[in-house]
Structure 1
Amino acid sequence: MKKTELLVTPASIDHMEDLIEAGADAFLVGEQFYGLRLAGEFTVEDIEVATGLAKEHNKKIYVAMNGLYHNDKVDFLAPYMEKLQQIGVDGIVFGDPSVIIARREANVTIPLHWNTEQTATNYFTANYWGKRGATRAVLARELSLDEIVEIKENAEVQVEVQVHGMTCMFQSKRSLLGNYFLFNDKVMEVENRAKNKNMFLHDNERSNKYPIFEDTNGTHIFSPNDMCMIDELDEFLDAEIDSLKIDGILHDPAYVTKVTSYYRQAIDTYGESRAAYKAIKKELLQQIEQIQPSLRPLDTGFFFKETVY
């Protein structure tokens, strides 16, 4: 059976070292200028260090270029990818077709992972981007498990699915919080807001709190719960999903490291025996529940259509 990749988003180089020890196979890194909703800020110099560390441990590095670019940014794309090729990264995550054009013009050969967050919902579209250079499709978070399995059965590219962490519900290119504070004569710097992990939109009707933060790409609002599929991984592994992602954005690095170790144990145990995995999966879920922040209840996302936000 094909080995499924465990992909994690590190907050820093030090955190990446911990995640390697915890059993991560691959890492998604990048910087705000090119990428969206990153767990940590990795400059080109950081990416070079991270790539060297990954190669030393037989891991992979993917770089986020999944922003939606205006004209003022497109001239930066090709030079950035040329640097990434010199460094030797293993993949570029993109959503804007300008990345395909810039990559071609720069004669860059780094594999592309198509990620548009919401529109990767069928295998026809995944294969469309596959014919234009993508080697992987990062599926939308709003798909059911049955839909994901059907896409995998018909996709001509690799398939990546998020199985743990927050889901982005809303993004605006505008600094909605910043504009509000400015209107009220309470100026807040974007950097300060980006580092603030304790701002929420309150939905009293549903008793939900939606994490919200801003960076240079605008305003991002996240789901009130964290998805957690550690006790349902056999469905993904049976389907031979190529990559399972743990998104660590807005979470403490120590929490992400611990969660990664649990998913590593789950995947490896399944590889030994499906029955052995079934015997430990409830215990693994309980271990995550014990370290889960009280403000972030766990659910199964849209995989079984239980989520309503």
Structure 2
Amino acid sequence: MKKTELLVTPISVADIIPLSDAGADAFVIGEQRYGLRLAGEFNRQDVEKAIELAQSKGKKVYVAMSAIFHNDLVDELGEYIKFVSDAGADAIIFGDPAVLMAAKESVPEMKLHWSTETTGTNWYTCNYWGRKGAKRAVIAREINMDAIVEIAEQAEVEIEVQVHGMSCMFQSKRSLLGNYFEYQGKALEIENRKQQKNMVLHDKERENKYPIFEDANGTHIMSPNDICIIDELQEMLEAGVDSFKIDGILKSPEYILAVTKAYRKAIDLFYEDPDLYDDKKDELLAELEEIQPENRPLDTGFFFKETVY
């Protein structure tokens, strides 16, 4: 039986070796010009170095080209895909068909992972993109466990599921915060992955705080809780889900490292003996609850809810 991949989003090149040693099988990297909601910014030199380090450890690297592209960037796509291919990346993550078309023209052998974060809700759609050239489909976070298992059993492509981290609830291509403060006559510099860690929308009625930040792709409002499914992996492992993703956006390197170690242990225990995993899963959940920030409760997202979309 093929072991499910543990996919992690590092913050910097310095995280590649520690996360590899912690048990990550693959990494998502990229730069915000081409990729959406990345845990860290990787320029071209960083991409080359990260791939070199990861592959020295026998790990894979997937480069994100999942942004929403307008006409002004379309002409750059083929050249960037060729750069990614020459750097030795194992796959490109895309949502816009423009990336798929550019890849077919410039590097037709490049492996592609389809990810829109929202519309991977059924296996017909996954197979549609598979027949267009994608080798993997990333499942939407708004569907439940039963639907995920059915997709995994019916899909003709690899299936990726996020198992830990925050989710995006809203995105606008506009700089909503910057425009608001400019309208008020106030200067506000919003630096991606720096100041935005302390920026939140506060829902007093529900006592929820929604992290918010702006980057080259606009405004992103994130969930008030973090998904954590470390104690409920068995159904997906039995169904053959190909990849579990830990999303490290707005998290510290230390946090991502600890979470990676915990999920590595959980996956390995299951493949050694499902009963061992069953015995230890509550203990693993407790370990993660211990390191979780007080203002970021853990929950199971939509895994055990009626699908909401």
Normalised to the residue count of structure 2, the TM-score between the two structures is: 0.97
For 1:129-278, list aligned pairs within 5 A: 129-191=129-191, 195-278=195-278
Residue 171 of structure 2 aligns to a residue whose secondary structure is: strand
For the 8 Å contact 2:143–2:307, the answer to whether it is kept is no
Is 1:110 matched up with 2:110?
yes
**CA-to-partner distance for each residue in 1:140-181, whole Å, 9 max, x for gaps?**
000100000101111000000000000000000000010111
Q: Within 2, Cα distance between the matches of 1:4 and 1:251?
A: 24
For the 8 Å contact 2:91–2:110, the answer to whether it is kept is yes
- What amino acid is aligned across from residue 105 of structure 1 in structure 2? E
Q: Within 2, Cα distance between the matches of 1:194 and 1:105?
A: 37
Q: Within 2, Cα distance between the matches of 1:42 and 1:9?
A: 11
Q: Within 2, Cα distance between the matches of 1:189 and 1:75?
A: 30
Going from structure 1 to structure 2, the CA distance change for 1:301 and 1:72 (only over 3 Å counts) comes to same
Runs of 4+ in 1 over 6 A off after TM superposition: 306-309
Q: Which moved more, 1:142-151 or 1:188-197?
A: 188-197
Residue 197 of structure 1 aligns to a residue whose secondary structure is: helix
Q: Unaligned stretches of 5+ in structure 2? A: none
How many positions carry a matched residue from both structures?
309
For the 8 Å contact 1:194–1:213, the answer to whether it is kept is no
Is 1:14 matched up with 2:29?
no
Q: Within 1, Cα distance between the matches of 2:194 and 2:106?
A: 32
Going from structure 1 to structure 2, the CA distance change for 1:154 and 1:308 (only over 3 Å counts) comes to closer
Give the superposition deviation at 1:194: 5.4
For the 8 Å contact 1:82–1:108, the answer to whether it is kept is no
Q: Within 1, Cα distance between the matches of 2:282 and 2:57?
A: 30
Give the superposition deviation at 1:108: 3.8
For the 8 Å contact 2:190–2:196, the answer to whether it is kept is no
- What amino acid is aligned across from residue 231 of structure 1 in structure 2? D
- In the alignment, what sits opposite 1:280? 280
Residue 6 of structure 1 aligns to a residue whose secondary structure is: strand
Q: Unaligned stretches of 5+ in structure 1? A: none
Give the superposition deviation at 1:187: 1.5
- In the alignment, what sits opposite 1:123? 123
Normalised to the residue count of structure 1, the TM-score between the two structures is: 0.97
Q: Within 1, Cα distance between the matches of 2:194 and 2:134?
A: 31
Residue 197 of structure 2 aligns to a residue whose secondary structure is: coil
For the 8 Å contact 1:81–1:108, the answer to whether it is kept is no
Give the superposition deviation at 1:263: 0.3
Give the superposition deviation at 1:205: 1.7
Q: Within 1, Cα distance between the matches of 2:42 and 2:94?
A: 17
For the 8 Å contact 1:62–1:89, the answer to whether it is kept is yes
Among all aligned residue pairs of Structure 1 and Structure 2, give the percentage whose two residues are the same amino acid. Answer: 61
**CA-to-partner distance for each residue in 1:24-48, whole Å, 9 max, x for gaps?**
0000000010000000000111111
RMSD (Å) for aligned C-alpha atoms: 1.4
